[in-house]
Each structure stands twice: as structure tokens, then as C-alpha cells.
């Protein structure tokens, strides 16, 4: 078997952001062995990775990070020297209706991974700690809401406002605790809202693209005045690459798009581009907008200060939003079979059957 320079476990690699990270690492680093661990829940889809599924340096592993025994087994078998941890429950509305599911996956699952890494790396006397890294990918939502201007920095106090963000904040704290207590080599990154191809259509942009295509209502929380910083997912994958290779042990890096939009203004841009793509009269899709009762604990504004990653690692976004949203809409319009399979659940039935003995 080929000797690879790195044995990297990427969790949640069949999901939206994870699939872009897996693709980047498999294609860019043929001398790395990439293991994609995903439980293939509703948002994990191996159709996201058909272009690299036969690559010699890629292996898919189906499993749940909540299963501690399973994790101990695969760490012993495959001898991972690094983890890039993206597996998480991430939809705020789902966290409000079922907080415990988020605690189990995002907190307990992360601690299980930390234990598996610690048990392998810190007991292996032949391995230098410099060869190992636990990279935890988190969110800007752990910082709470910016109601009075300013930006989130790496030293901003945590103030999570939803069960989802609380579960991610807790997992961040556990990662730092394992670094401080056990000297486990770690880095953490907290990123702003992502958009782009392969995102499950419960999130705003793909949901609205699909609804416009099918002339369904566009539900907007409150008055649509909540502000988010948006980053094209491929740029996030590039940032993860940079942090993995150049980030300093124990450090946190904020990743943002320098690209703030009110929800309602972003939605109107999507409507405008979709009208053009569908050959509709300009303004036609805006008629689908309907304002609904605001979500509980809805943060008003997120905005990332990405100065640190820019100065220390040289990373910055490659796309302006107008270009990125057009590329995104083009992808969904050209991959309507993918979108229909995802919304109908057909892909999940297929992969559940394939990976169930």
C-alpha cells in the first residue's frame, strides 16, 4: 500500500462544506490519504463527491461520531494523524425544536473524537506531536449578536443565543480544554455564513432558489432586516486548507467574507438573478416574498473581522458576492436532478440501502 505523507480524517465530508473540503484535499494533495467519515443523515449526500469517489487517495467511511467505540476502532485501524472536524447538526430552526439532538451530535460527538485522537496520539511514543492536528471547524454564531456595530474578532466573548450556537460554543470549549489539559495539538476556525453548490435546501439561498423555480412562497423572518456576512463555500475550503497547513497550534482564526447583506436585500438579488435565468419579467419573483413571524432568539447581525487570517496566512476571499451568487444559481439551475433528489429524499433512500447490511 502506498505510503502517504498524511492520513487525514475529515468528518462530515459528505455535507455541504465538508464535501468541498474533501474535494480540495483529494485533488490538491495526491500524497495525502483522505478518509471521509459521514453518517449520511438527511444533509449528507455522497452525490456531492461523485467526481472524486474513485480517487486512489480517497476512502469513505460510514459511521456516527456519537458512537465512541466505532471511533476508537477506526482510529486504531487507520492511524489518522490529523482530524478536520466538520460533522455537526447546523440548522437553527431544528435546534429550537430538538435541542438534545444538537447536544448529542455537536458536543458528545466532538468529545468522542477528541478522546479517540488523544488516546492514539498521546500514547504513540513513536509519533511526534508536531505530526498531529485536531482542527475544529466552528461558526460565528457562538459570538452572539452584533446589535451595536463592530465585528467579531478571535477574542470576542462567547454569547450564544440558540441551542445550535450553544452546542457549537460548548464544542469549541471542549477542544480548547483538551489542548490546555492534555496538550492535544488543535486549531479552531469560526466562519460566517456559507453559500454555493451542494447546500441542502433548508438553508436560505438554495431554499429560495428552489422555491422561485417552483413558484412557491419565499418566507422571510420578521422584516428581513437581519444582517449576515456571506462567504462562497470554495473560499471557505481554501481557508481551511491554509489554517490546516499554516495555522499555529492552539490558535483560533475567524473566516469571513467582508460581505454583509440584510436578508431582504440578498433575497431581492436572488429574485432578480432568477428572473433573468427563468426569462421572467423583472420583479416577478419578488411577488413570492411573504413575511412570517420572526424566529425565536434570532440574532440581528453577524460580521467577522478576518484580519488575523489575512495577515498571518495571506488568505482572503476570491469572489465578490455578485459573481458568487450568479455561479451558485447557475449550479442549482444546471443540477435540478440533484436538487429534486435531495428535496424528495430519494438520494437518502439509495445510500441508506447501500450502506446497510
Residues 252-299: pLDDT tens digits? Answer: 999 999 899 999 999 999 999 999 999 999 999 999 999 999 888 788
Cell matching residue 237: 475550503
70-123 pLDDT, tens digit each: 999 999 999 999 999 999 998 888 899 999 999 999 999 999 999 999 999 998
Is pLDDT above 90 for 201? no
* Average pLDDT for 160-189: 97
DSSP 63: -
Count of domains in the chain?
Answer: 1
Cell matching residue 102: 444538537
Rounded-to-integer distance, Cα 52 and Cα 34, Å: 11
Rounded-to-integer distance, Cα 218 and Cα 2, Å: 51
Does residue 108 lie in a domain region?
A: yes
Does residue 114 lie in a domain region?
A: yes
Does residue 30 lie in a domain region?
A: yes
Helix (H, G, I), strand (E, B) or coil at 112: helix
Does residue 188 lie in a domain region?
A: yes
What dihedral do alpha carbons 225, 226, 229, 230 form, nearest 10°?
Answer: -80
Whichever domain contains 56, its CATH number is 3.40.50.720
212-268 pLDDT, tens digit each: 999 999 999 999 999 999 999 999 999 999 999 999 999 999 999 989 999 999 999
Is pLDDT above 60 for 7? yes
Burial (Cβ within 10 Å: 0-12, 13-18, ≥19) of residue 344: exposed
Rounded-to-integer distance, Cα 340 and Cα 125, Å: 51
293-339 pLDDT, tens digit each: 988 878 889 899 999 999 999 999 998 888 999 999 999 999 988 88
Is pLDDT above 50 for 357? no
Rounded-to-integer distance, Cα 127 and Cα 121, Å: 7
Give the CA distances from residue 304 to residues 137, 154, 270, in Å, rounded to whole numbers and listed in that order.
Answer: 15, 9, 23
Q: What is the pTM of this model?
A: 0.92
Is pLDDT above 50 for 1? no
Question: Residue 231: beta bridge partners?
Answer: 194
- pLDDT for residue 127: 55
Does residue 34 lie in a domain region?
A: yes
51-61 pLDDT, tens digit each: 999 999 999 99
* Average pLDDT for 11-27: 97
Is pLDDT above 50 for 199? yes
Helix (H, G, I), strand (E, B) or coil at 187: strand
342-351 pLDDT, tens digit each: 877 665 555 5
- pLDDT for residue 300: 87
Is pLDDT above 80 for 128? no
Residue 222 near residue 289 (C-beta atoms within 8 A): no
Active site residues: 140-141, 164
* Average pLDDT for 153-164: 96
Residue 36: which domain range?
Answer: 6-195+231-261+296-320
Q: In what order do the strands lie in the sheet with 6-11?
A: 58-62, 32-38, 6-11, 82-85, 133-139, 186-191, 252-255
- pLDDT for residue 92: 87
Q: For the chain, report the end-to-end CA distance as a whole number of angstroms.
A: 27
Residue 171 near residue 138 (C-beta atoms within 8 A): yes
Does residue 219 lie in a domain region?
A: no
DSSP 283: T
Does residue 109 lie in a domain region?
A: yes
Q: Which helix (H) or strand (E) holds 34?
A: strand 32-38
Does residue 344 lie in a domain region?
A: no
Q: Phi first, then psi: give them for residue 38, nearest 5 degrees.
A: -150, 145
User: What is the band of 205 on the pLDDT scale with cuts at 50, 70, 90?
Assistant: very high
Average pLDDT along the chain = 92
Question: Residue 7: beta bridge partners?
Answer: 33
Helix (H, G, I), strand (E, B) or coil at 39: coil
Rounded-to-integer distance, Cα 151 and Cα 155, Å: 11
Rounded-to-integer distance, Cα 172 and Cα 107, Å: 9
Half-sphere exposure of 80 (CA within 13 A, CB side): 28
Amino acid at each position: 500500500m502506498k505510503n502517504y505523507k498524511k492520513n487525514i480524517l475529515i468528518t462530515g465530508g459528505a455535507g455541504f462544506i465538508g464535501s468541498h473540503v474533501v474535494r480540495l484535499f483529494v485533488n490538491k494533495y495526491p500524497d495525502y490519504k483522505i478518509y471521509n467519515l459521514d453518517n449520511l443523515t438527511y444533509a449528507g449526500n455522497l452525490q456531492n463527491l461523485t467526481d472524486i469517489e474513485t480517487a486512489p487517495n480517497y476512502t469513505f467511511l460510514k459511521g456516527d461520531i456519537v458512537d465512541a467505540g466505532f471511533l476508537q476502532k477506526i482510529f486504531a485501524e487507520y492511524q489518522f494523524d490529523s482530524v478536520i472536524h466538520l460533522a455537526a447538526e447546523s440548522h437553527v430552526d431544528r435546534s429550537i425544536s430538538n435541542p438534545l439532538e444538537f447536544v448529542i451530535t455537536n458536543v458528545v460527538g466532538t468529545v468522542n473524537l477528541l478522546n479517540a485522537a488523544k488516546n492514539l496520539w498521546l500514547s504513540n511514543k513513536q509519533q511526534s506531536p508536531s505530526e498531529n492536528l485536531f482542527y475544529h471547524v466552528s461558526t460565528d454564531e457562538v459570538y452572539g449578536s452584533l446589535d451595536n456595530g463592530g465585528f467579531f474578532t478571535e477574542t470576542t466573548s462567547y454569547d450564544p443565543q440558540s441551542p445550535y450556537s450553544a452546542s457549537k460554543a460548548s464544542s469549541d470549549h471542549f477542544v480548547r480544554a483538551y489542548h490546555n489539559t492534555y496538550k492535544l495539538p488543535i486549531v479552531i476556525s469560526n466562519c460566517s455564513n456559507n453559500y454555493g453548490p451542494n447546500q441542502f435546501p433548508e438553508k436560505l439561498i438554495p431554499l429560495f432558489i428552489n422555491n422561485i423555480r417552483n413558484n412557491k412562497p419565499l418566507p422571510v423572518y420578521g422584516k428581513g432586516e437581519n444582517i449576515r456576512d456571506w462567504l462562497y463555500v470554495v473560499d471557505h475550503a481554501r481557508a481551511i486548507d491554509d489554517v490546516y497547513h499554516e495555522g499555529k497550534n492552539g490558535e483560533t482564526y475567524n473566516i469571513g467574507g467582508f460581505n454583509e447583506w440584510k436578508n431582504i436585500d440578498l433575497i431581492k438579488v436572488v429574485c432578480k438573478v432568477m428572473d433573468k435565468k427563468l426569462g421572467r419579467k423583472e420583479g416577478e419573483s419578488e411577488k413570492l416574498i411573504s413575511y412570517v413571524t420572526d424566529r425565536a432568539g434570532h440574532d440581528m447581525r453577524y460580521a467577522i473581522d478576518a484580519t488575523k487570517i489575512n495577515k498571518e496566512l495571506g488568505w482572503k476571499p476570491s469572489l465578490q458576492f455578485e459573481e458568487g451568487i450568479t455561479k451558485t444559481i447557475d449550479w442549482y439551475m444546471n443540477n435540478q436532478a440533484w436538487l429534486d433528489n435531495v428535496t424528495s429524499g430519494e438520494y437518502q433512500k439509495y445510500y441508506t440501502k447501500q450502506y446497510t447490511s
